[in-house]
Amino acid sequence: MALILLGVSGSAACFKAAALASTLTKDGHQVQVVMTAAATEFIGPLQFSCLTGKATMVDEFESMDPSGMDHISLARAADLMLIMPATANTVGVLANGLAPNLLGSLALAFGTSKSRFFAPAMNPEMWAHPAVQRNVATLLGDGWQQIGPASGDTACGETGDGRMVEVDQVIAAISSALQS
């Protein structure tokens, strides 16, 4: 089975990332969760550790690798990277090649020959904003694959494009990538 890097950024949709981590682990995959500090405001790292059996990583400077190079060793070992939920901020960080945290560093170190996915989740106006759409276009041009968003009710109470897709859609997309 595969080693999947699951990057979780700060969104009310974090609960879907937890459900995904649980399902992937039950399916026999190894899931290494890397959270942004903002994500920990929505869901605790311990939740992911309990679901995956692996320590959740948040702080770039609390290394599990003796060399202090977790972002390099994880990037080399993993088969696939998925950012879910991908907030407007995280999409911008990825599109502009920034590394303000462990997730950004890991995304830069992850090989472009391996499957990289992002599943956006944000307010419909944020999703429609030209800057976000430019960043999405940049990611797609750089070889990232997009899953969603869906149209529907969002956490802020508005309706439109920006809603996180359901877990089964994410599983279908990454399963297809892992089989090819």
Catalytically annotated residues: 156
**Distance in angstroms (rounded) separating the CA atoms of residues 56 and 47:** 9
Compute the residue count for the chain.
Answer: 180
Task: Write a three-state SS string for 121-162.
Answer: CCCHHHHHCHHHHHHHHHHHHCCCEECCCEEEECCCCCEEEE
One-letter amino acid of 74: L
Please state, in angstroms and rounded to a whole number, the distance separating the CA atoms of residues 130 and 119.
18
E-only strand ranges, the chain: 3-8, 30-35, 80-86, 115-120, 145-146, 150-153, 159-163
